[in-house]
């Protein structure tokens, strides 16, 4: 689940600090993924709503 992969505030800060300290070194794919997730506003709420919608649609059938 994506909800379990969301970076903590500390993880996000550490990645951003590392990026700022060495701007010429590219981030690894895992770090890029975590920063992308962190950049999406209200992502936890959106994911929970999406999961609820899918569960509701399946329950109706």
**1 pLDDT above the threshold of 90:** no
* pLDDT at residue 17, as a whole number: 97
**49 pLDDT above the threshold of 80:** yes
What is the residue range of 8's domain? Answer: 2-60
Angle at 35 between CA 34 and CA 36, to 5 degrees: 90
* pLDDT at residue 3, as a whole number: 92
Q: What is the mean pLDDT of residues 24-52?
A: 96
Whole-prediction pTM: 0.78
Distance, CA of 56 to CA of 60 (rounded, Å): 6
**Domains identified in the chain, total number:** 1
* pLDDT at residue 5, as a whole number: 92
Q: What is the mean pLDDT of residues 10-33?
A: 97
């Amino acid at each position: 689940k994506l909800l379990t992969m969301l970076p903590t505030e500390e993880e996000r800060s550490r990645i951003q600090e590392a990026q700022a300290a060495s701007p010429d070194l590219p981030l690894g794919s895992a770090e890029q993924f975590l920063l992308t997730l962190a950049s999406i506003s209200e992502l936890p709420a959106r994911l929970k709503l999406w999961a609820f919608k899918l569960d509701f649609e399946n329950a109706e059938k």
